[in-house]
Structure 1
Amino acid sequence: MNPETLLLMGLGAVVIIAAARWIGARTGLPAAALLAVAGIVYAVLPGPNISLDPHIVLTFVLPPLLYSAALESSLLAIRANLRIVIGLSVLLVFATALLVGAGFGLFVAGATFAAGVAVGAAVAPPDPVAALAVGRKVGLPPRLVTIIQGEGLLNDATALTILNVAVAAAVSGHFSLPKAAGLFVLAAAGGTAVGVGVAYLVRLLRPLARDPLLANAISLATPFVAYYIGEQLHVSGVLAVVVAGLIVGHDTPRSGTGASRLQTNAVWRLVDFLLEGIVFLLIGQQLPAVMRGLAKYQTSTVVIAVAVTVGVTLLLRPVWLSLTQAAHLLLRREDEGLNAREIAALSWAGTRGVISLAAVFTLPLTTGAGEPFPDRDLLLFCTFVVVLVTLVGQGLTFAPLVRRLGLRANEVDEARQRNEARMASVHAALERLDDLEEDEPGDAPTIEALRGRMQERLRRYEHRLDVLQSAESDEVPVSEHYESALRIQRLAIEAQREELLRWRDAGNLPDEGLRRLERELDHEERVLPDRRE
């Protein structure tokens, strides 16, 4: 493919990604499903397609996406829900792989148990991107968001380990469940250790993170370093990335500067936007590749294989969640369980994505004896159908289901908590000013001026908290005075921008000075709270 064609395809991909985001924002449809459909439409049109290279996806796409998701996750919240997260990300993945393998061995003509375990491992890990994008938009409760995040961060390591064991078994003809469990424990323990080590290294580099550019460079390099070390040590590079991201994200508020954090967050948002868009487009474009080898199979064989794979994937998840909740009630565990509505929502949040396709595309073309890998084309097709059914089917219906279930975060409680935290931080600042006034009496005028501003801010927070405490529903009440104050502040900032531009255009202010002053206004505008805060 020549550079001009590659450039045009890249530009076209960015346009499609932007269009899908714009359409999704205005229609409520998930951008991930729209992009997958767009990829399928493009795949059947004349012209070149981009084939999915699994090694590129696993090495250059998966680490930054997982690391970014880990940075945005809560280590404390995941730890509080660790029982459910481990059950979904480890035990359910094992169960899915084994049941699909059993279904292939029993019902699919000519298929082996090991080949079925391989495709089961590939389709077992949900990709939470689409579900979380929709869930946050409809106000999914924070606990369910945490469970979906935690599952999506940890399940890839389980699935890839099982897949490697299943491939070795398919080549040799022998599958050992104890061996698979042992390899997983070894990979998980090693990956965790590598992740902790990389996070500690990032902590040692904390003084450099005060420079925004160096902070960005360190942040972008961290997932690749963790993944590379993990893979070189033959442990889970995926888990190393996740653990490093969770620890670094937990430490970030204590490290670096505000400018570094703002810039790093902006960079990761752009990386997520482009990489997620590209991988969902890639999913649709793999249709010709997965259809190519199906001609040699009887229609009944293909239908049974797809039914087994899709059926186990869709049905086992709600059964698993229901059984584990029943066991939780019988054992009377102290941690909070799941109710029926939460089980229904989590059951429908299991959308699969590019990781499943990348995993199944790593299946070798031939065995060690030079024979074709058993049923490779059939396994590719089954995985593609599962991804398409869950990504489009569940993705498009997840928001209506959540609304129908009445699952919604209590926005008033969350806003009240944030305002209480703001008030506590202002009280801490006022106490520090009192200490400074005693230690540095010469700065009393400056301290008094700042105290006045902090006290005004405290009065504003107290008024907002009174409004929130008197709210009669879960909806955040709208204050006309509050909205008016925000609108006036934004208009004042806009007037300052316009005046600076007039100075620049008149030759009274160089462009470098304009950019510096405009950054100050941008930061001032950025810290203005949302109307629902």
Structure 2
Amino acid sequence: MDGTHLFELVIAMFLAIIALHYLAHRLGLPPSVALLTGGAALAFVPGLPAIEVDPELVLVIFLPPLLFDGAWSIAVDRLKRHMFGIASLAVGAVFFTTVVVAVVTHVLMPSLPWAGCAALGAIVSPPDAVSARAILERVNLPRRLQILLEGESLLNDASGLVLFRFAVAAATTGAFSATNAAGTFILLAAGGAIVGCVVGYAWVKLVRKLHDDYLMIAATTLMCWIAYLLGEQLHVSGVIATVTAGLIASWYQHTVMSAATRMRGTSFWTVLVFLMEAMVFILIGLSLRDIVERGGGFGALLETMALPALAILVTIVVARFVWIFASDVAIELAHRTGLARSVPMGTGAATVLSWAGVRGVVTLALALSLPDAFPGRDFILVIAFAVIMGTVLLQGTTLGAVISWAGLRGTEAEGAPMTMSQAEAAMAQVQFAKVKSLAFDTDGNLIHPQLLRRYEHRATAIIDYAQRTEDYVPMLHAHFDVVLEAVAVGRTELIRLRRAGQIDDETLRELERDLDLEELSAISAKA
């Protein structure tokens, strides 16, 4: 396929993404399900060239920005507070699932060497960051569950990659040491964290010297790939390096970036991540054609692979349930005996957390990266794809129902001494004090009376609102509904004036930008 046809194919995939997202919205389906099944259907369109996915290239292109975006948006304080639980999922659950899947696979396929069974376990054990993001965007979970899923998706790929590489090496050399594997994992994680710190602080120094919004946004965009590639070049964890760099950038972005830079960067980054996430699911679906052809067709695959695939899919789900419920029981025992302050999640929350283990691009990329001579490669590839399809189609579509069954809903920030309205009141008081100190000249004459009245009224109103939030919510909704109506009328008038030739394009854009900011502010306040 030449460059022109490749570019045409990419544009066609973007158009398919828009159409499939729209279809998912109309049908009430998770977008990941529509994209995955749509990509699988497109793979068999007559005349469409076969898509050969380079696993290393897929990981390098898609994984760093998606990991970086997750680290950028995650709550660092809650990440630290729940690090033990996150590590239990990202490391403990991955190792446990790998072992269980390896044992079940060996029972199903005695001819497959233990190293091949372990490789399959490592491939399918880590839930996917992209799939987790696609799920979390559509559900409203308690903060504890949300941070556990977000943190797990950021770190578990490192565990899966290390286990996978050791399994491949064991199959090649015939030697394996659990002690060496554990030591290597610690070194890779520590090395990745160091690389991430270096890249993150280098970004902080660079952005402080740049005085152009677009240069800052470009530097931030490139940062994720720099951290990942540098980590891989130094033979440490590129995943941990990217996540660490993203956490540092997230912490400092409030002080090194202007408001305009953040708004423009957020808009650019949102579109970029949207396209990348969608492209990942499309590519997974498109890879079905090659898998079916290697397996001898749908009939042969169903006859020979259906039962093993179903057994391993059930094993993955059950293993996650066992690990999470056992961990919750251990937490309850430790809490009762006074050994830990953490409280158990309970049956409902543990069930939702267990059911949220959806697999995706990392699983497929690892399976495709197996050497051609690797024992049981075709079997592993088919099982990996079946696991992705099964978890996305089954768990991705039913997670909302499981959450409803469990009676879970989002809550205020846990452990925070202030609510959002209380924090806003504290901010308004400080602002009023500052305006009051600047409202008078050196002779004591009031020079900014309107500003003083405005900030005094705002501080008083916000404090009153913080004390009587429930009484004010209906009035505030009605207030901002009027604001939004006024913005809409103002925008219509601006367009009329431009169409009539009474104002030029520059005036239209400047005044429309003010209306856009006012509209966004009203929508945010109403929410």
Q: If the length of structure 2 is used for normalisation, what is the TM-score?
A: 0.91
SS at match of 1:13: helix
Q: How does 1:40-119 map to 2 (within 5 A)?
A: 40-46=40-46, 47-119=48-120
1:319 deviates by 0.3
The one-character-per-residue Cα deviations of 1:321-364 (angstroms, maximum 9, x if unpaired) are 11111112222211233211110000110011111101111111
Letter in 2 for 1:336: V
The one-character-per-residue Cα deviations of 1:219-262 (angstroms, maximum 9, x if unpaired) are 10110110111011100011100111112112222221000001
Cα distance in 1 for residues equivalent to 2:80 and 2:470: 30
What runs of 5+ residues in structure 2 fail to find an aligned partner?
Answer: none
Would the aligned equivalents of 2:123 and 2:164 in 1 still touch at CA under 8 Å? yes
| Count of matched residue positions in the alignment of Structure 1 and Structure 2 | 518
Cα distance in 2 for residues equivalent to 1:451 and 1:237: 52
Would the aligned equivalents of 1:131 and 1:395 in 2 still touch at CA under 8 Å? no
1:45 deviates by 2.4
SS at match of 1:445: coil
- In structure 2, do the counterparts of structure 1 residues 278 and 265 end up closer, same or farther at CA, with 3 Å as the change threshold? same
Determine which of 428, 433, 436 is the counterpart of 2:435: 433
- RMSD over aligned Cα atoms: 2.6
Calculate percent identity across the aligned residue pairs: 33
Letter in 1 for 2:165: N
Cα distance in 2 for residues equivalent to 1:208 and 1:524: 31
Letter in 1 for 2:515: L
The answer for the alignment partner of 1:169 in structure 2 is 170
Q: How does 1:302-341 map to 2 (within 5 A)?
A: 302-303=305-306, 305-332=308-335, 333-341=340-348
The answer to which of 219-228 and 107-116 deviates more is 107-116
Cα distance in 2 for residues equivalent to 1:441 and 1:44: 81
The answer to which of 136-145 and 88-97 deviates more is 136-145
Cα distance in 2 for residues equivalent to 1:245 and 1:302: 41
Letter in 2 for 1:141: P
Q: How does 1:240-259 map to 2 (within 5 A)?
A: 240-259=241-260
Letter in 1 for 2:36: A
Cα distance in 2 for residues equivalent to 1:228 and 1:443: 61
The answer to which of 419-428 and 9-18 deviates more is 9-18
Q: If the length of structure 1 is used for normalisation, what is the TM-score?
A: 0.90
Would the aligned equivalents of 1:208 and 1:215 in 2 still touch at CA under 8 Å? no
Please say if 1:234 is aligned against 2:235: yes
- In structure 2, do the counterparts of structure 1 residues 282 and 440 end up closer, same or farther at CA, with 3 Å as the change threshold? farther
The answer for the alignment partner of 2:354 in structure 1 is 347
The answer for the alignment partner of 2:401 in structure 1 is 400
1:496 deviates by 3.2
Letter in 2 for 1:493: V
The answer to which of 207-216 and 244-253 deviates more is 207-216
The one-character-per-residue Cα deviations of 1:193-236 (angstroms, maximum 9, x if unpaired) are 11111111111123245522112111101101101110111000
1:411 deviates by 6.9
Cα distance in 1 for residues equivalent to 2:39 and 2:284: 7
Cα distance in 1 for residues equivalent to 2:210 and 2:425: 29
Would the aligned equivalents of 2:96 and 2:323 in 1 still touch at CA under 8 Å? no
SS at match of 1:126: coil
The answer for the alignment partner of 1:473 in structure 2 is none
- In structure 2, do the counterparts of structure 1 residues 165 and 500 end up closer, same or farther at CA, with 3 Å as the change threshold? same
Letter in 2 for 1:358: A
Would the aligned equivalents of 2:439 and 2:452 in 1 still touch at CA under 8 Å? no
Please say if 1:519 is aligned against 2:513: yes
The one-character-per-residue Cα deviations of 1:362-397 (angstroms, maximum 9, x if unpaired) are 1112xxxxxx21111111001001100001110011
The answer for the alignment partner of 2:29 in structure 1 is 29
Please say if 1:528 is aligned against 2:522: yes
The answer for the alignment partner of 1:489 in structure 2 is 483
Cα distance in 2 for residues equivalent to 1:251 and 1:357: 35
Q: How does 1:244-393 map to 2 (within 5 A)?
A: 244-295=245-296, 302-303=305-306, 305-332=308-335, 333-365=340-372, 372-393=373-394
SS at match of 1:528: helix
Cα distance in 1 for residues equivalent to 2:135 and 2:314: 24
1:438 deviates by 6.2
1:141 deviates by 1.2
Would the aligned equivalents of 1:187 and 1:236 in 2 still touch at CA under 8 Å? yes
The answer to which of 128-137 and 24-33 deviates more is 128-137
What runs of 5+ residues in structure 1 fail to find an aligned partner?
Answer: 366-371, 471-476
Cα distance in 2 for residues equivalent to 1:204 and 1:352: 37
1:316 deviates by 0.6
- In structure 2, do the counterparts of structure 1 residues 407 and 102 end up closer, same or farther at CA, with 3 Å as the change threshold? same
Would the aligned equivalents of 1:101 and 1:116 in 2 still touch at CA under 8 Å? yes
Letter in 1 for 2:124: V
1:144 deviates by 0.9
